[in-house]
Amino acid sequence: MKARLYGAADVGEAWVVDVSEGCVHVFTGPGPGGYADVRQAVAGDSLTPGGLDGVTVAVTDILPG
């Protein structure tokens, strides 16, 4: 998965939209082996991108209707 490569490249955070599961996988804690932490956000949840103070994104705004 590309997320592992992004983590190894020290990208601070990655979001993967999983349309079939209706969620967003949020990867944080980058390191040589990928990301240390992964969580799922679903409809009703809000996400705050790392490094973008004051920005909040509703998962329902990301997922297709």
pLDDT digits (tens, 9 = 90+) for 34-63: 999 999 999 999 999 998 999 999 999 999
In sequence order, what are the residues at sequence separation of 6 or more whose Cβ sits closer than 8 angstroms to the Cβ of residue 27? 3, 6, 7, 13, 14, 15, 16, 34, 35, 37, 38
- Dist CA 56 CA 51 (whole Å): 11
pLDDT digits (tens, 9 = 90+) for 12-41: 999 999 999 999 999 999 999 999 999 999
As a whole number, mean pLDDT of residues 3-10 equals 94
Structural domain boundaries in the chain: 2-62
pTM of the model: 0.90
Query: Could you tell me the two tokens for 58?
Result: 């509703």
